[in-house]
Amino acid sequence: MRFLITGGAGFIGSHLADELLLRGHRVHVLDDLSTGSIEHIRHHKDNASFSYTIESAASAPLVAELVDEADVVYHLAAAVGVELIVESPVRTIETNVHCTEVVLMQANKKKKPVFIASTSEVYGKGETLPFREDGDLLLGPTHIGRWAYACSKALDEYLALAYHHEKQLPVVVGRLFNTVGPRQTGRYGMVVPSFVRQALAGRPITVYGDGTQRRCFCHVEDVVRALCDLMVTDDVYGQVFNIGSTEEVSVLELAHRVREAAKSDSQIDTVPYEDAYEPGFEDMPRRIPDLAKIEGTLGWRPTRDLAGILDDVVRSEREAGTDVFTAGVA
């Protein structure tokens, strides 16, 4: 089969390309490299089953051409990372909504199946845990920039499902919870690579807030396995699926575990949200997915625990020898 991945030079997109190629498929990546990197896909340059285009998914003529050549489309291109979202809300909204409009419109012309990557952020400030796909979404006020991202991704979901119901476009929505692993940058506030890079450099590990906020981290290889399996499964179109881990950890405990995995003596500092982000910034105390739906559909569960994930990230960062960025929001 032939697959098009928008955002395919990004963290998750490049791992998805790896998995699809490993399964014997053909892959074309579309990425403008605004947050992705050519280094993530360079190892495929001599693979005859792989090709790429450096351009934005906002280009309708180009997307139309690439969709025509594909059997299935994975739409992963999006604004990512808490820092980018807070600092550039216009870019966040325009990138997320407009690019999704373009992809869905072009895919609909030939009824090509589309996977839309959404996020656990759409659950917002919901308190009914674990989060179920059919649960209510509770977002914050419009003057707080962080909610622009959640709202834009929720709108992506509404639009995708509308295309399915009104125009019979084969669409699947995946709500990705915290996904981590090799190649993830800490530049935009991703907490695990940021902590690991700080620990390996012997610098203070910076935790935003008081560190009691709890998250679940899933290895990217488990996530892309779910993405691949979903698009070759019957009776999944028009549905939303949570994809993530249910192993919870507080961000402060995460900092200690990263320090231990990196064999580091870095101190751990807490930084108030108001010193790091916009006034009124809100973070959610817990975010845990209900995985019953995807487990019942695919038999899918994560295979990597947090200890193994951290060891993998530490190893890959040591090998890469990358720069250190500060962050602490998950």
Residues serving a catalytic function are: 149
Q: With H, G, I as helix, E, B as strand and everything else as coil, classify residue 134.
A: coil
Instruction: State the helix-helix crossing angle for 191-201 and 306-320, rounded to 10 degrees.
Output: 60
Q: Alpha carbon 319 to chain centroid distance? A: 23
Q: Residue 99 contacts by C-beta under 8 Å, 6 or more apart in sequence?
A: 6, 56, 57, 58, 75, 77, 78
CB 265 within 8 A of CB 202: yes
| Cβ neighbours, 10 Å, residue 197 | 25
CB 222 within 8 A of CB 229: no
| Cβ neighbours, 10 Å, residue 202 | 12
CB 310 within 8 A of CB 247: no
| Cβ neighbours, 10 Å, residue 127 | 10
Residues in the chain: 330
CB 6 within 8 A of CB 112: no
Q: With H, G, I as helix, E, B as strand and everything else as coil, classify residue 178.
A: coil
The residue to which tokens 């325009």 are assigned: 94
CB 192 within 8 A of CB 258: yes
Amino acid identity of 100? T
Q: Residue 265 contacts by C-beta under 8 Å, 6 or more apart in sequence?
A: 202, 259
